[in-house]
Structure formats: C-alpha cells, structure tokens
Amino acid sequence: MAPRWLWLNVLGALAVAGVRESLLNVCMNAKHQKDKPGPEDALHSQCSPWKNNSCCSVNTSHAAHEEQSYLYNFSWSHCGNMSGKCKKHFIQDTCLYECSPNLGPWINVVDVSWRKERILNVPLCKEDCDQWWEDCKADMTCKENWHKGWNWTTGTNRCPLGSMCEPWPLVFPEPKDLCEKIWSNSYQYTPFQRGSGRCIQMWFDPKEGNPNAEVAKYYSRAGRGGAARLPLALLLPALLVLRTV
Ligand SMILES: *[C@@H]1O[C@H](CO)[C@@H](O)[C@H](O)[C@H]1NC(C)=O
Ligand SMILES: *[C@@H]1O[C@H](CO)[C@@H](O)[C@H](O)[C@H]1NC(C)=O
Ligand SMILES: *[C@@H]1O[C@H](CO)[C@@H](O)[C@H](O)[C@H]1NC(C)=O
Ligand SMILES: *[C@@H]1O[C@H](CO)[C@@H](O)[C@H](O)[C@H]1NC(C)=O
Ligand SMILES: *[C@@H]1O[C@H](CO)[C@@H](O)[C@H](O)[C@H]1NC(C)=O
C-alpha cells in the first residue's frame, strides 16, 4: 500500500507543480497576441496598465481603441453610435483580452479558423461588470451574443435581418447577462470584489502592480476553476494528494 500512495503523491506533486507554472505568465494563441509576454513601454492609453508585462504589441494597443479596427473589423456602433462612457468598457475589455498575461487558467483550445485558443469563464470582478452594464444601459444593441450571427456582407458587423435595435436592458436585463453572454461565456459573473484576489480586474491602477497575477496563481492550483482543462490523467493523482494531506 505505502509505496503506491507514495508514487501517487510524487506524480501528483509533479502534476501540480508543472501545471501551475504553465498556466502563469502566458499569452493565448489567438489572433494578435505575442508569443510570450514582455515589456511594452509605449502601450496606448487604456492598455497602458499592462506595459510592464504584456501580450499585446504597441500597434494592437492603439487598434484596441479604434472603432472597426483592423484587429477584427468589429463595430461597437451597430445600433447608432455607442456612447463614449459605454465604449470605454469595450476598449478595456479589448485591452484585457489582447494584453493580459494572466488569463492562463481560463485558456481553452478551440477549433476555428481565426484562433487556436480562447478564454472561457474568466471570473470577472463584480464591480467591473456592474459598472460596464451601468455605463451602457442607455445604449442600444440588437444582439445578446456579439461573437456570432452578424451580417458581415458590408465588411463590418451589421445587425442581421429580423433583429431589432433595442434598449440595452431589454437585451441584457442584468450585468450578469452582459458579461457572460456577450462573448459566449468568456467571462463569468462573480460575487467577488476588486482587490479580493479571487477575481480578474479589467481595470487596475498600475502604480500598485497588476492584481491579476495573484488571481491567476490562485486559480492555477489543481482542483480550482482552472483545473477543468487539465487532462484527467494528470488531475487524478493531484486530487488524490489533496485528499490525503
Ligand atoms: C505597427 O504599425 C506601423 C505603422 O502602421 C507599421 O509600420 C509597423 O510595421 C507595425 N508593426 C507591427 C509589429 O505590426
Ligand atoms: C477587415 O476588412 C478589410 C477590408 O475589407 C480586409 O482586408 C481585412 O481582411 C478585414 N480584417 C479582418 C480581421 O476581418
Ligand atoms: C457617429 O459618430 C461619427 C464619428 O464620430 C459622426 O461622424 C456621426 O455624425 C455620428 N452619428 C450620429 C448619428 O451621431
Ligand atoms: C445582409 O446584408 C445585406 C446587405 O445589407 C442584405 O442584402 C442581406 O439580406 C443581409 N442578410 C442577412 C441574413 O441579414
Ligand atoms: C511595473 O514595474 C514597476 C517597477 O518594477 C512597479 O513599481 C510597478 O508596480 C509595476 N506595475 C505593474 C502594473 O506591474
């Protein structure tokens, strides 16, 4: 009995240690992210908090602020012009997606032409989601899921036939609807608050460091949220260890 447990413990420890590192300080393999995070002194405006250590290039940081930029040809203003106060959250959302090196625990493999990896269920801090919804609630939109179903015939996304531009709260009744549905569950709405170390902040003051590094570390431990994507063969021994300590 004893040698078997010992063996499992060793395996588990290796799995835990290896996994933890590989989920930290990484860039997702998507469309514009760099291969590896690193300093980018000149990141633009709202993306600048990531300049110490970033997955986005300077060019990407500029494009993140533009309507219908070359990044995705995506127009936020598909039901009239989006208000400035709403748009700033979409810019920040783009900066986080393109620049953050702390999304490792939520990176998932996808099989689509334009990217190999996506993020799934990133636990967004409650206030960041609530404020996003609050600042957009006077805007209009025609769709709940902004990832798919657009009419792209003009080269940019337009509302598909049969959809109507409606006030924001009719499409997204609650902040949770916005954050979870808009990008096909890239984000998860959480009860966790900014500074708790349990949720990812879309907004942060770089003077105090990047708070998301700690959060990624927390979730990269086996058995927590991020473990879902681990191969079972690695995860099982890790769980056995956790049960025996
Ligand atoms: C960034 O943009 C500039 C100006 O458009 C261009 O000359 C340069 O090649 C771009 N750099 C990268 C790395 O794409
Ligand atoms: C954006 O549109 C331009 C011009 O229509 C096209 O050349 C480019 O490939 C498009 N980019 C993306 C990301 O779809
Ligand atoms: C929308 O914004 C564009 C560019 O800022 C401006 O030229 C246009 O007049 C605006 N349209 C409306 C309906 O406000
Ligand atoms: C897409 O837009 C084009 C041009 O505006 C229109 O002719 C077509 O019917 C639209 N198709 C759908 C499915 O919305
Ligand atoms: C960037 O690095 C400086 C110097 O090491 C540090 O004071 C600052 O907190 C860091 N900021 C972030 C966002 O990591």
Residue 64 Cα to ligand 1 midpoint, Å, equals: 14
| CB 112 near ligand 4, within 6 Å | no
User: What is the structure's pLDDT at 237?
Assistant: 47
Ligand 1: list residues with CB < 6 Å: 57, 59
Mean pLDDT across 117-146: 97
| CB 66 near ligand 3, within 6 Å | no
- What's the first-to-final CA gap in the chain, in angstroms? 16
Q: What atom of ligand 1 comes closest to residue 57's alpha carbon?
A: 13
| CB 81 near ligand 3, within 6 Å | yes
Question: Ligand 3, atom 12: nearest CA belongs to which residue?
Answer: 81
Residue 232, number of CB atoms within 10 A of its CB: 7
In 3D, which of 146, 169, 170 has the Cα closest to residue 157?
146
Confidence of residue 227 (pLDDT cuts 50, 70, 90): very low
Confidence of residue 174 (pLDDT cuts 50, 70, 90): very high
Rounded-to-integer distance, Cα 206 and Cα 218, Å: 20
- Residue 154 CA: distances (Å) to CA of 81, 160, 164, 194: 17, 12, 18, 40
Taking all residues of the chain, what is their mean pLDDT, rounded to a whole number? 88
Mean pLDDT across 214-234: 66
Q: What atom of ligand 4 comes closest to residue 159's alpha carbon?
A: 14
Mean pLDDT across 23-28: 96
User: What is the structure's pLDDT at 10?
Assistant: 47
**pLDDT greater than 90 at residue 9:** no
**pLDDT greater than 50 at residue 1:** no
